[in-house]
A and B are shown apart, each in its own frame.
Chain A
Amino acid sequence: MKAIVRRALFVAGMGLVVIGASVGANAQAPAEIAQRQELMKANGGAMRTLTPMVRGEAPWNAQAAGQAAAKLQEDAVRAKALFPAGTGPDKGQTAALPAIWERKAEFDGMFDKQAQAAANLVRLASANDEAGFKAAFPAVGQTCGGCHTPFRKPN
C-alpha cells in the first residue's frame, strides 16, 4: 500500500514536472509585444508619408496628411493599452525598458500628449491649413523622441 502511494505520488510528481516543462517550452512572449511592434512600424509609415510633405519634398496633399495624422492619433490611443504589466524585457524580445513600469503614469501621459498633437494635425489637415500643419508637425516628432529617449533601449 505504502509503495503504491509512493509510486502514485511519484507519477503525479513527474506529471507535474512534464506539464511544467511543456508550459515553459510553449511559453510565448505576450501578444502585446508583437502587437505594439507592428503598431510602431505603422506609425513610422505614417511619419514617412508626412515628413516629405512637411519638408516641401513632396506636394501638399491635405487628404493624405489627414489620414496619416488620424492613424497616429488612433495608434497613440491603442498603444497605451499595449504595455500592461508583465510585458517587459524579461518576458520576450522587446526594446521596452523597465522604466516604463516604474514610471507608468508619466509613460501613459506621453501617449496622451501624442494623441493631442496628432489630433491637432488632423484638425489642421481637414481645414486644409498647410502652413499651420507644417508649423505644428514638429510637436509630433518631439513626442515620439521624447518617449523613445527615456523608455526605449537604444539598438
Chain B
Amino acid sequence: MNGARKVHLVRLAGVIMFVAGAASSASAQSGDAKRGEYLFAAGGCAGCHTDEKNGGQLIAGGRELKTPFGSFFGPNITADPKFGIGSWTDAEFIRALREGRRPDGAHYFPVFPYTSFTWMTDRDMVDLKAFIFSLPKSERPSRPHEIAFPFSLRFLQFGWKALFFREGPFQPDPAKSTQVNRGTYLVEALGHCAECHSPRNILGGIPGSMRFAGDPKAPGGGKVPNITPDRDTGIGKWSDGDIDELLASGMTPDGDSVGGEMGEVVRNSTSKLTPEDRKAMLAYLRQLVPVSHKVRGGS
C-alpha cells in the first residue's frame, strides 16, 4: 500500500467514526457530557463504582464496602445495556438519584448515597448521565451484595426512607450568600461528605445533630474526622489555607498527606474542582454548627 492511499484510508475511517459517533450521541443523549465530567469528579462516582485495587475498568463495578449490615459491591454503571445502565432513560436515571429507586421501582440501599444526590438539579443529573454514557462500556456482571437477613429485604427500605430520607432537589437559601449556597450544593449534594463524616445509628441513619461530627467506627475500621468548626474536636483551628490545601492536594497542616478513602477522594474529586468551588466548600463548612465530638486521640 502506498503512503498516499494509506493516509486516505485512515482519513476515511476517521470520517466514518466521527459520523457514527455523532449519530449515536445525538440519539442516546440529551445532556452535556463536558459539564457531566466535572459533576462526575465532584460526585466522586468513580470511588465506589470502580474496582481500583484489582485494576478494574472505570465504573465497571466491583469495589467492596463493608458495613455492619453486610458487604456491598458497587455495581457496573457503564453504558452497557445488559450489564450496566445503558438501557436507562434520563427519567430513570433521575429517579435513581432523586428517589433512590431502580427502574423496576425497587428501593436502593442507602449505601448508594442517593440521600445526598437527591439534592442535585435535574440538569446536573442529565449531564452526569451523558458523561457516564460517553465512557467505555463493560460486560462485567455486577456482584450481588452480601447482606444479612433481615436487612437484605429491599422493601424494608421503604420504612428507612420514611425515617431518614428527605427528597430534593436543593433550593438555594436566599438568606445566605451565593458562595455558601454553592458550597452547600458541593458538600451536601455532589460531594456527599456527610455520608462518611457522620456517625450512624443502629439503623444506619445519620442523627441530624451529629452531621459532619465524624465517625469513630467507620466501615472498614477507620476513624473519620469531625469536620465541624469545633475548635477542640473539629477543624475550627485550621486556617482557610489549611483546609484548601487538604482539598487541593491532600496535605494536612502537619505536612502529612492523607491516605485511605480521603486520599482517593482528593485524587478523584476535590483536587479536580476549581479554586472557586473549593472556596465555596470551605465557606459552607465554616458556617456549620460546631459539634464537640472527639473521634481521634490527637485532634
Footprint of B on A, CB under 8 Å?
A: 40, 43-48, 51-52, 55, 57, 138, 141-142, 144-155
In the bound complex, residues from chain B placing their C-beta under 8 Å from that of A45 are: 255
Given contacts A55-B241, A148-B257, A148-B258, whether A47 and B251 have CB atoms under 8 Å apart is yes
Looking at the complex, which one of A57, A142, A154 makes contact with B260 (CB distance below 8 Å)? A154
Check B255–A44 contact: CB distance below 8 A.
Answer: yes
Check A138–B222 contact: CB distance below 8 A.
Answer: no
Given contacts A141-B249, A141-B250, A149-B264, whether A155 and B222 have CB atoms under 8 Å apart is yes
Check A148–B254 contact: CB distance below 8 A.
Answer: no
Given contacts A51-B245, A145-B250, A155-B222, whether A43 and B255 have CB atoms under 8 Å apart is yes
Q: How far is the CA of A40 from the CA of B255 in the complex (A)?
A: 9
Q: How far is the CA of A154 from the CA of B264 in the complex (A)?
A: 12
Counting CB contacts under 8 A, is B259 at the interface?
yes
Check A152–B260 contact: CB distance below 8 A.
Answer: yes
Check B258–A145 contact: CB distance below 8 A.
Answer: yes
Looking at the complex, which one of B53, B248, B262 makes contact with A150 (CB distance below 8 Å)? B53
Counting CB contacts under 8 A, is B45 at the interface?
no
Check A154–B245 contact: CB distance below 8 A.
Answer: no
Q: How far is the CA of A44 from the CA of B253 in the complex (A)?
A: 9
Given contacts A149-B259, A149-B267, A151-B259, whether A144 and B251 have CB atoms under 8 Å apart is yes
Expressed in whole angstroms, the minimum distance between the Cβ of B193 and any Cβ of chain A is 16
Q: Which of B257-288 contact A (CB under 8 A)?
A: 257-264, 266-267
In the bound complex, residues from chain B placing their C-beta under 8 Å from that of A145 are: 249-251, 257-259, 263, 266-267
In the bound complex, residues from chain A placing their C-beta under 8 Å from that of B11 are: none
Footprint of A on B, CB under 8 Å?
A: 53, 220, 222-223, 241, 245, 248-251, 253-264, 266-267, 296
Among A47, A152, A154, find the residue whose CB has the most chain B CB atoms closer than 10 A. A154
In the bound complex, residues from chain A placing their C-beta under 8 Å from that of B266 are: 145
Expressed in whole angstroms, the minimum distance between the Cβ of B100 and any Cβ of chain A is 28
**18 A-B residue pairs with CB within 8 Å:** A44-B255, A44-B256, A47-B256, A51-B245, A55-B245, A138-B248, A138-B249, A141-B250, A141-B257, A145-B249, A145-B251, A145-B257, A145-B258, A145-B259, A151-B259, A154-B260, A154-B262, A155-B222
Q: How far is the CA of A46 from the CA of B251 in the complex (A)?
A: 12
Check B223–A155 contact: CB distance below 8 A.
Answer: yes
In the bound complex, residues from chain A placing their C-beta under 8 Å from that of B248 are: 138
Q: How far is the CA of A149 from the CA of B263 in the complex (A)?
A: 5
In the complex, which residue of chain A has the Cβ closest to the Cβ of B244? A55
Given contacts A51-B245, A148-B260, A150-B53, whether A142 and B267 have CB atoms under 8 Å apart is yes
Expressed in whole angstroms, the minimum distance between the Cβ of A67 and any Cβ of chain B is 15
In the bound complex, residues from chain A placing their C-beta under 8 Å from that of B254 are: 44, 48
In the bound complex, residues from chain A placing their C-beta under 8 Å from that of B258 are: 145, 148
Expressed in whole angstroms, the minimum distance between the Cβ of B242 and any Cβ of chain A is 9
Q: How far is the CA of A151 from the CA of B264 in the complex (A)?
A: 12
In the bound complex, residues from chain B placing their C-beta under 8 Å from that of A44 are: 254-256
